[in-house]
Amino acid sequence: MPKPSDIKNVDVDDLIRQLSTAEACELTTGVGNWYTAEIPRLHIPRIKVSDGPNGFRGNKFFNGTPAKSLPCATGLAATWDTDLIGEVAREVLASEGRLKAAAVLLGPTCNIQRSPLGGRSFESFSEDPHLNGMMAAFYISNLQKKGISACIKHFVCNDQEHERMASDSLLSERALREVYLKPFMLAQKYADPWCYMTSYNRINGLHCSENERLLTDILRKEWGYEGLVMSDWYGVYSLVKSIKAGLDLEMPGLDGWRQTSKLIRSVESHKLTVEDIKSRAKKVLELVQRIAKASPEILDGDQQERSDDPPEHRALLRKVAGSSIVLLKNENHVLPLNPQKTKKLAIIGPNAKAAVIGGGGSASLNASYIVTPFEGIMAALPKDVEVAYAEGCQAHNRAPALEQDIVTEDGRPGWIATFYEMKADGTLTSPVDTVYLEETYQLMSDADINLKGVSWWAIFRGKLRPRKEKVKFRFGLTTAGRAKLFVNNSLVIDVWTKQRRGEAFFNSGSEEEFGTVEIEAGSAADIRVDFCNLSAPTDSDASERPNANAGIRLGGFEVHDEEESLQEAVDVAKSADAVIVIVGLNADWESEGYDRKDLELPRKTNELVSRVAKANTNHVVVMQSGSAVTMPWVDNVSALVQAWYLGNETGNAIADVLFGKVNPSGKMSITFPRRLEDTPSYLSYGNQNGKVRYAEDLFVGYKHYIVRDIKPLFPFGFGLSYTTFEYSNLEVGKSTSKGADFTAAVKLTLTNTGQIIGSEAVQVYIAPPEGLLTRPAFELKAFSKARDIPAGKEVKITLELDKYAVSYYDDQAMAWRADKGEYGVFIGASSDDIRLKGRLVLEESFTWTGL
């Protein structure tokens, strides 16, 4: 009996010849959500793909297999350490792929952060094409060295979530090439991803999944790409056009365009040829064979998903999370805190005890474990330190999920779901299945339940943990389908009879509805949610149909007087020797499916930080977010760190930096503006009759702030340390070759002039000579992370420049061009802190295409 991996020994061209037209059609579209098609007759196996940006989730949203969670991409890029990112991809992600029986990781996300309002900004590495592309390249190359395919996404200009399947990104050829395609170009040159994923949007009028110029002319012909191109999920909008354009695989295999009968009809009508279809099928087969050669054990295994957390993986995740953290402010050397000299520590803020480890949407997963900031700090403290806690204010967008508050009858955290089918007369069958669930946020579209009917029910039961005192408890219920919440058998929330449509569950859910209940002291209130997968009527839509993204989200929180909560935090701060304030956003604020409306922190957060800072000057503010937020209190706080979303090891990594076990070395991967109005795309972000005009053109991120002379809150590349560094002895070598083979070495000395060991990210910015076309004042073209330099020691650093460092895109010649002349070579500790200046002379102009 042949093994699935035996396809590695088969001639693909011969296999293509043996395929019937119908079988070739099947290979061009997925099967279900996560698989390619298998052809048993020819022993062609299927392969499995998996989200996503923060780790390998596996193939289930519903009751998913526990998985490791990495820091979000902005955090990874903030390390400025390509070797470390490569190590994480090689050692953790590749192992996770095998555990999940998945051969393709749907990531990394490599889009440019055009605006911090973008709902998925946290998923992409940076606002800068070079940092973005080089981080992606090391991530991809190291993952693929271990036999797991990356699928770089979203190709291209997937920069907002609003109307993402319809919006038309209107931009110049230079902006497209120099800003938005550039990171993909670098990843292609240095890593050669085995898969690309197209974005949902249009580019200058044409959807990316049917854009022949993008997929064939640029990607395949100009860049020489030979791998597979797949669509984003439900991101195909045509049959013939997408095939002709070079889109190999439509995903998922649910209600798509590429049904075999329609493809064959297109052949019969001469809109497509059999060769067109087989050319797309061939790329799928080549990927399957590539996986069979690189990871045969995945194809030959039992296909079961597993989870583990070996200590070496925990240590590496902790290391990369700590390396991501950026020290933004440290007046009077408040940090690092000395726990040996602290008798009483105050931990304050809504994010302190919250499990904020990543953004929402495709990035979400069932984390194998979570260390909250509070837990990490407590674990790092000596036992004799007194700790006082106050939430201070609430920071949720939606009511916080109730994983820590609901228990089953036998005391396990979580609740029980019982599934039923609905008969034609509206009555329910006997229970089809009963499932224990730890989470109160459940997308059930991929539930492995034997539900044969179109309509089905689920009843969720649990108990609210008893409170010491009588409290008002406010529940929030969101559903994709219809639902009712009962507390102690009394109806509290009805999203069944009628509902308002909202953005939850990938824009297929309801708006959150609320209900408040008084909970008696010591009472374990009975919680029941009745759910049906049929849509509920709205004021404008009375139809009943199954919801493809069926799900519920039950949240809740104790209702407290806001002023009393703030005053409690102030009182706790006053009584402590040191204060740690932990605030920010979470996956409800930053998520796939919708964009942020502003850059503000939630509710009373700003007031909380301001009042605590006044109450005790020995404080540090820890900010958790995946992108920029405004900080009106920044001038009045003593110490501030940007902690991003850090994955499983969030709390331990934060504690390592706060107490000095790790000397912070992160640098900002994006600019934080002082206000939304300062951002490059402020006047042109979002849709105008479906069109998005990229009016800022080349001036994205720090390039805009420099040319407009706008001082940001924190500039690109900025980050402090517990030590200091001196830059000296700059040498810029002459090119040893001409034309597109141009290279030049930049050398300098970096000295640790402080008292402790530290690491520093050295940044090289290049300023162009004057020319006929407008160009940014300078751009990042190289960087290097110098790790663990002992106090008082120096290291020699060499950075290589190549044709990318001096080239821009000439939209008249339709080629890359480097002009002769004198280029400025600026060595910076950030884009706003240039330490050394040199010059590079290019004696002859040259043009080039390709990579």
Please tell me the predicted confidence (pLDDT) of residue 755. Answer: 96
- Name which of 358, 316, 369 is nearest 123 in CA terms: 358
Please tell me the predicted confidence (pLDDT) of residue 572. Answer: 98
At 159, list the tokens.
């920069």
Residues near 520 by Cβ (< 8 Å), separated by ≥ 6?
Answer: 470
* pLDDT score of 447 more than 90: no
d(Cα 161, Cα 159) in Å, to the nearest integer?
7
* pLDDT score of 502 more than 70: yes
Higher-confidence position of 181 and 52: 181
Please tell me the predicted confidence (pLDDT) of residue 541. Answer: 82
Task: Dump pLDDT digits (tens) for 775-803.
Answer: 999 999 999 999 999 999 999 999 999 99
d(Cα 501, Cα 508) in Å, to the nearest integer?
7
How many Cα atoms are found within 13 Å in the side-chain-facing hemisphere of 91?
16
* 292-296, 509-513, 782-786: least confidently modelled range: 509-513
d(Cα 489, Cα 310) in Å, to the nearest integer?
44
Please tell me the predicted confidence (pLDDT) of residue 538. Answer: 87
Q: What is the mean pLDDT of the chain?
A: 95
Higher-confidence position of 424 and 668: 668
How many Cα atoms are found within 13 Å in the side-chain-facing hemisphere of 486?
12
Please tell me the predicted confidence (pLDDT) of residue 455. Answer: 86
Please tell me the predicted confidence (pLDDT) of residue 298. Answer: 97
Residue ranges of domains in the chain, CATH in brackets: 4-160+168-297 (3.20.20.300), 327-396+562-665 (3.40.50.1700), 404-438+445-549 (2.60.120.260), 725-848 (2.60.40.10)
Phi, psi (degrees; rounded to nearest 5) at 300: -90, -5
pLDDT band at residue 737 under the 50/70/90 scheme: confident
d(Cα 429, Cα 101) in Å, to the nearest integer?
35
pLDDT band at residue 452 under the 50/70/90 scheme: low
d(Cα 7, Cα 286) in Å, to the nearest integer?
10
Please tell me the predicted confidence (pLDDT) of residue 801. Answer: 97
At 426, list the tokens.
């509206």
Task: Dump pLDDT digits (tens) for 821-832.
Answer: 999 999 999 999
Please give the share of the chain, as a percent, with pLDDT higher than 90.
89
d(Cα 206, Cα 515) in Å, to the nearest integer?
46
CA triple 7-13-18, angle to 5 deg: 80
Phi, psi (degrees; rounded to nearest 5) at 292: -60, -35
Mean pLDDT of 367-387: 97
Return the SS3 of 641. strand
* pLDDT score of 219 more than 70: yes
At 579, list the tokens.
């204060």
Query: What b/e readout covers 540-574, taking b as 16+ CB neighbours within 10 angstroms?
Result: eeeeeeebebbbbbbbbbeeeeeeebbebbbebbe
Please tell me the predicted confidence (pLDDT) of residue 251. Answer: 97
Rounded alpha-carbon distances, angstroms, from residue 461 to 415, 488, 800, 844:
6, 11, 61, 74
| Residue 200 · residue 164 · CB < 8 Å | yes
Task: Dump pLDDT digits (tens) for 390-405.
Answer: 999 999 999 998 988 9
How many Cα atoms are found within 13 Å in the side-chain-facing hemisphere of 477?
25
d(Cα 619, Cα 206) in Å, to the nearest integer?
52
pLDDT band at residue 328 under the 50/70/90 scheme: very high
Cis peptide before 637 (omega within 30 of 0): no
Please tell me the predicted confidence (pLDDT) of residue 687. Answer: 92
Strands (E), 657-793: 691-693, 725-732, 743-752, 758-767, 779-789
Strands (E), 374-470: 386-390, 406-407, 415-421, 433-437, 441-443, 456-464
Which sequence positions are flagged as catalytic?
232
Mean pLDDT of 496-509: 90
Return the SS3 of 99. helix
pLDDT band at residue 615 under the 50/70/90 scheme: very high
Task: Dump pLDDT digits (tens) for 72-114.
Answer: 999 999 999 999 999 999 999 999 999 999 999 999 999 999 9
Task: Dump pLDDT digits (tens) for 689-706.
Answer: 999 999 999 999 999 999
* C-beta atoms surrounding 6 within 10 Å: 15
Task: Dump pLDDT digits (tens) for 15-74.
Answer: 999 999 999 999 999 999 999 999 999 999 999 999 987 899 998 888 889 999 999 999
d(Cα 570, Cα 788) in Å, to the nearest integer?
39
